[in-house]
Amino acid sequence: MKNNLAFMKNIPSFLLFLFIGFYSCKAQLSVEPMVPSEFQKAIQSNTEAIVLDVRTPEEYREGYILHAVNVDYKNENFKSEIAKLDTAKTYYVYCRSGGRSANAASYMKSVGFKNVYDLKGGITSWKADKFPVIQKPLPVGN
């Protein structure tokens, strides 16, 4: 009975320890989203950084941020494509509205990428703030 009481007294401390441990690990992997003006300044000032568009190829063709590389978050090969990237480089990630890019950026942090930034609100917010997008015409017949 005495052992049970000692155990019961330690449960709150143990739960607090687990919560703090989980929260601190989660906080290390979180990616702070950047508003379009910050994102734009960052990609202009860091010419070595990679702009990563994680939308579908069809969405990408509708318009993308200058120099963006397309790696489709929904594609089954997403993780293997990310594994080919240099973890030491800086990445600015975006999608249509911010959901996929937040997930992609968090995944990248979880596998060792140190410098990953997410565009808050995605290309939708980028366009709303009147920042430019590149649009390539589709080939004739498509």
Residues with catalytic function = 95
Spatial separation of the C-alpha atoms in residues 27 and 30, rounded to whole Å: 5
What b/e readout covers 26-62, taking b as 16+ CB neighbours within 10 angstroms? eeeeebebbebeebbebbeeeeebbbbbbbbeebbee
CB neighbourhood size of 140 (10 A): 5
Q: How many Å separate Cα 142 from the centre of its chain?
A: 31
